[in-house]
Amino acid sequence: MDLKYGDTSFPLAIPPERLMGVIRPSVPAPDGDPAAIISEALDRCADAIATFRPGKRVVIVTSDITRYTGSEIYLPLLVERLTAAGIRERDIEIVVALGIHRKQTEHEHQRITGPLYGRIRITDHECDDPGKLVLIGRTSTGVEVVVNRTVAEADRVILTGTIGFHYFAGFGGGRKSILPGVAGRASCMASHYAVLNPGEGTGRNPLATTGNLEGNPVHQTMVEACAMVNPEFILNTVLSPDKRIIAAFAGHWREAHEEGCRFYAERFTFPLKEQADLVVVSCGGYPKDINVIQSHKSMEYGCQALRRGGVMVLLAQCRDGYGNATFFDWFRFRELDAFEARLRSHYEINGQTAFSLLQKARTFNIILVSDLPPEEVRTMGMIPARTLDEAMTAATSLLPSDYAAYVIPEGGTVLPIVM
């Protein structure tokens, strides 16, 4: 079995008698080619598009390069529908929902827009430029919703992206394109702070977890923020592990998203009878292992299949390093209590992810196969390795002779659940 690593792969050799199973999502074959799937979804928005009028400014929000969505397929089809309704190409702008991520390169803009590149204006959201942000309201919990001015002032807003698991917002896609996608940094931080329970030392809210929307305080804040923008509709894809579009959901920004989340949960969870001593996880290669922050998702999901004190081998190249300049700085806090106290007093989204990573590093033995400097991997509480063979040798020394293992070839797309 080969496991993906960046743009390459490593062969995995594991004794058959030690293998409990290979954890993969139950992905249906696509009902048609990608363009046909998108077109059928857009048909559901025909009435909404028919209300668009020439001269109106339309903003399409889409994801950055860290999460492949199929945008080079669906954006041209969406623009085609808009121009057929009389919207001029010069009145359409694509805003990349960076959240607090780095700006995109011209090459990345080209990959995102496909054949639209050079025809339709594309800009990156800037979360730290006050001149490009505007306050549009406050949530019921007091979060100030500051968003991209271009989005806020558009005549019509369309949200696009992909639906997948999110480790504390429940699912990606839908409302997340607004907050944190095109929100100011302070709004992003305030909305994500809801992941923590009220009260010092009480840890994470148990409802702010992977695959759950019901009662999830992070999700609720995002929903309230999205309602203030009131997008015309959304278009969200669902992708197979090999990045094929297998479904698309379009329509009302909340209802279509929830429908897509139900579809995703039914096909991308994996029931288990018991946890294992060893879990070998690949994020699924580039871009899912582009940096530590993105790779953490696979770590989070894979841990559900691992017993406390067990060993995880995680393949995550991290060619772009950590994903944010402040992420690694958080590991100056080596103890969880001190870390959480600092996180509560100086909250950062990257700090939340770092805290979650350190929690897992203290609960399990995590061997990270990456391009990162070994001493920095150790600082994060993990064991560094350069190859899968090296990692498996290290894992064997930490395991009982009769260990049992799972393999997860696409860790960023499947959620193991012990039934």
CA dihedral 371, 373, 379, 385 (to 10 degrees): 50
Active site residue: 101, 125, 192, 296, which one?
A: 101
Q: What is the DSSP letter of 183?
A: B
User: How many CB atoms lie under 10 A from the CB of residue 134?
Assistant: 16
Catalytic site residue 101? yes
What is the chain's length? 419
**Helical segments of 130-216, H only:** 149-152, 185-192
- Mark whether 125 is an active-site residue: no
**Catalytic residue among 109, 166, 192, 257, which?**
166
Cα 300–Cα 303–Cα 308 angle in degrees, nearest 5 = 135
Count the Cβ atoms, other than its own, within 10 Å of residue 169. Answer: 28
Sheet containing 121-124: order of strands: 121-124, 92-97, 58-63, 156-162, 233-239, 245-251
Look at the alpha carbons of 276, 209, 235, 108 in this order and tell me if their dihedral is positive or negative: negative
What's the start-to-end Cα distance of the chain, in Å?
A: 27
How many Cα atoms occupy the beta-carbon half-sphere of 418 within 13 Å?
A: 10
Of 353, 343, 352, the C-alpha closest to 293 is: 353
**Beta-sheet strands, E only, within 50-163:** 58-63, 92-97, 121-124, 133-138, 144-148, 156-162
Strands (E), 231-290: 233-239, 245-251, 269-272, 276-282
Dump the DSSP string for 328-352: GGGGG--SHHHHHHHHHHS--HHHH
- Residues assigned a catalytic role: 101, 166
